[in-house]
Amino acid sequence: VLKLALIGFGFVAQGLAEILLHRSDELRANLGFSAQIVAVATRSRGSLYRPDGLVIDELFTAIHQGRLDQYPDVVGLERGWDTMRMIRESSADVVIEATPSNFQTGQPALDYCHAALDAGKHLVMANKGPLVVAYHDLVTHARQAGRQLRFEATVMAGTPTIHVGTSALAGCHISEARGILNGTTNYILTQMESGMSYAEALAQAQKLGYAEADPSADVDGWDAAAKALILAAALFNSQMTLADFSVKGISGITLDNVQSARTRGERWKLVARVTPAGGSVQPVCLPISDPLANVMRATNAVTYTTDHLGDVTLIGPGAGRSQTGFGLLADLLEIHRAG
Amino acid sequence: VLKLALIGFGFVAQGLAEILLHRSDELRANLGFSAQIVAVATRSRGSLYRPDGLVIDELFTAIHQGRLDQYPDVVGLERGWDTMRMIRESSADVVIEATPSNFQTGQPALDYCHAALDAGKHLVMANKGPLVVAYHDLVTHARQAGRQLRFEATVMAGTPTIHVGTSALAGCHISEARGILNGTTNYILTQMESGMSYAEALAQAQKLGYAEADPSADVDGWDAAAKALILAAALFNSQMTLADFSVKGISGITLDNVQSARTRGERWKLVARVTPAGGSVQPVCLPISDPLANVMRATNAVTYTTDHLGDVTLIGPGAGRSQTGFGLLADLLEIHRAG
């Protein structure tokens, strides 16, 4: 049984908990996999630790009431440990870092990550911040600690982008990855194609929960750039920082641009591109024959250009609760296989 | 060092040999993988065995002169062993079955496959025949023998179709796979869209080497059905035989059908579909918003419908020398990882 500590219990960690709640029998029977949540630490909604495991149903009941403190009293339950203590002193085998991203400092998550590896725990990331700031430090630390560092959920949610690029295509030389890595901007561009203005489409994306109240990380291209940076590091061992990326968002794209591309049989997409030499995120007018041109709404996609296979394209969800939760599960399954 | 016996030395086995010839340093440095061809057996072009390894350059020189007999005399070389003796008595760790497919009996390859497993060798298939006829027998035999049976190259060449469906998406429940699994028919339909008649497009596909002189396995849908059957067996442990498939080819599709679909914003594609309950191959008129509708020329694609992720689509080559050779390499890398 793999024992898990969840750092952060938002959307994504809840997506994983939900899968574990509903699919544990199937995962055990088909894959011999079994996991138990022993710790949950949040910044403002309390924290719980129980070496014999927390009941997922009760976690949901408590969090829906607003705070983990609502979790019932049971033998062996500890309340209120701070996150660092949870990482250092809990009996978890794996720390799942799912707190909000900070692309400038990676903090406080970056400290949590190093502490988890110091404590001899595997590390599974949903949070891009620490990887954007310190990918190579973390990889080196994990190697020295003899523990796994995995981050499938950070790029295209649970679509197996990292897995395909680094494992399924391991025998290929990948020279370039091009992708639509941000769902909000792709949704906006899709809506503009049916006549909506940029402002209307953005408002709708916000209403549907795709875009944040402050949509700048999405529409200015930085969310896509962060994902592209992680992908480049994983594929090419690239040392790029976000500052090395040429980044341009979609706010300059007019309804007129979109409509006139359409009459030419083309489509504007926010394309992230990385090679061993560098990376960019910018709106590109693609011919409709490009697989990326046909990726609509909040769906994401990546095309790997390879030596032996030519282009291989993977299309799948780029966001969502169960979709991103599955990315965490996929990493846990890899840890299970290796262990 | 993984020692390989190649059964059949056509297009696909040569594709693998070429990759091993040019990429062995890279594969060793990056993945710790190293392989050596110790045996090559063909039905009409001779056979060679050398426990210390055959020189790939010399194999190509010999086969380009028409027969493996042209291979130079070297210490330890054995010539003219028949295929069964090669499988049973050579020191190979892995037998690579790359002879032509027979969908009725699977023979003679099926006997080779069982002999390889009996001899304690891993089995890597490029040949669909034995899997179409006896998938479950072979899986059972491999399990009993404690050896691996792998077949990435049989579906969409080296595009990691099997790997994604069975490994990357292992934690998902896949309810359906829909795909364009035959390059020849997709090429023909693509050409018809630009005004070519079915007969002209078929002739061009033959000229380009996509279609055989007898194109019936392609155009009547049986090649796609064989691949779909293998995929269904791998994904669902399905017990279907080819006779259980509802199969219809593209020969009834007229230029008029193609053009009028186009005016409606739709495209005819030969779609293979499998679920745990059954399978079919038939021409389907897809809306242009379907990722499969935008797969053109000899490219192939598959869409997996899953619980946690919704639809995940993989697009890549469906044929080709290095493309299929890479499928064999990918299986060898998995054997290397497990070993």
Please write the tens of the pLDDT for every residue from B212-250: 778 899 999 999 999 999 999 999 999 999 999 999 999
**Of A171, A295, A317, Cβ closest to residue B309:** A317
**Stretch B61-86: mean pLDDT, rounded?**
96
- What pLDDT, on a 0 to 100 scale, did the predictor assign at position B210? 77
Do B316 and A330 make contact, defined as CB atoms within 8 angstroms? Answer: no
Q: Closest-CA residue in chain B for A304?
A: B316
At residue B211, does pLDDT exceed 90?
no
Min distance A23 CA to chain B CA atoms (Å): 9
Mean pLDDT score of chain B? 96
| pLDDT at position A241 | 95
Residue of B nearest to A306 (CA): B323
Find which of A166, A269, A309 to mutate to test the B interface (most B CBs within 10 Å of its CB): A309
- Please report the pLDDT score of residue B172 as a whole number: 96
Task: Give B262's contacts in chain A (Cβ within 8 Å).
Answer: none
Cα distance from A242 to chain B (closest Cα, Å)?
Answer: 27
Nearest to A228 by CA among A244, A216, A214: A244
Q: So what's the ipTM on this one?
A: 0.96
- Interface of B to A at Cβ within 8 Å reads 19, 23, 26-27, 30-31, 33, 157-160, 163-164, 167-173, 288-289, 291, 293-296, 307-317, 322-323, 325-326, 329-330, 333
pLDDT score of A207: 87
**What pLDDT was estimated at residue B213?**
72
Asked if B157's CB is within 8 angstroms of A168's CB, the reply is: no
Task: Give me the pLDDT at residue B159, please.
Answer: 98
- Extract the residue ranges of chain A whose pLDDT is less than 50: none
Does the active-site annotation cover B227? yes
Mean pLDDT across B44-65 = 97
Longest Cα–Cα distance in chain B: 68
Which pLDDT score is estimated for B207? Answer: 87
pLDDT above 90 for B283: yes
The residue that leads in pLDDT, B208 or B152, is B152
- Over residues B117-131, the mean pLDDT reads 98
B-chain CB neighbours of A164 within 8 Å are 160, 164, 168, 314
Q: Which residues of A touch B330 (CB under 8 A)?
A: 168, 170-171
Mean pLDDT of B92-104: 96
C-alpha B329/C-alpha B321 separation (Å) is 12
Q: Write out chain B residues lying below 8 Å of A288, CB-based.
A: 294
Kindly report the nearest CA distance between residue A84 and chain B, in angstroms.
30
- Contacting residues of A for B312, CB less than 8 Å apart: 159-160, 314-317
